[in-house]
Amino acid sequence: MSTPYDYYPACLYAIQQLGQGYTLTQACNAANITVALFRRYCANDPNLNDQFIDAEQRSHDALADALVHIDNSEHGSSDPKMASVLSSNIKWYLAKKDPKRFGERVTVEHDVKVDVTITQALNRARQRTQIAAADDVVEASFVDVTNDAPARR
């Protein structure tokens, strides 16, 4: 019977690569493991999963930092159109991967605390208006006076 191979060091290496801005697929390829194996190890080890989450945050931060220095002059002459495409792609990727920090939608959270005395006073006022409205009802009979005569032409 053979002993199963321990991929824990390879997962740690993938996490290190991920924290430097590589995608999960690139990091797993560099560590010679599959993404499925990496995810299985992270699911079974809470410490490894915490490191993975932290590395993802650092990866997103590295991409956001790249937006500041998007000038691609190190690859030859600087092309503003190419820089615009790169920055748009990075922004889109960050908005999809980490919408809470980099999303375009703004969410407003509010917490309303209502005092019990206020709600009781509102309920009493509501009851008083219902009683007052019931007292204002007038009961009357009516007579239907529709015209039975034929209309003139």
Helices (H), 74-151: 80-97, 99-102, 116-135
Counted residue by residue, the chain has a size of 153
Closest to 15 (Cα-Cα) out of 4, 41, 99: 41
pLDDT in tens, 5-59: 788 899 999 999 999 888 899 999 999 999 999 999 999 999 999 999 999 999 8
Domains, the chain, ranges and CATH?
A: 8-102 (1.10.10.60)
More confident: 10 or 84 = 10
Question: pLDDT band for position 73 (50/70/90)?
Answer: low
Q: Taking the complete model, does pTM exceed 0.75, yes or no?
A: no
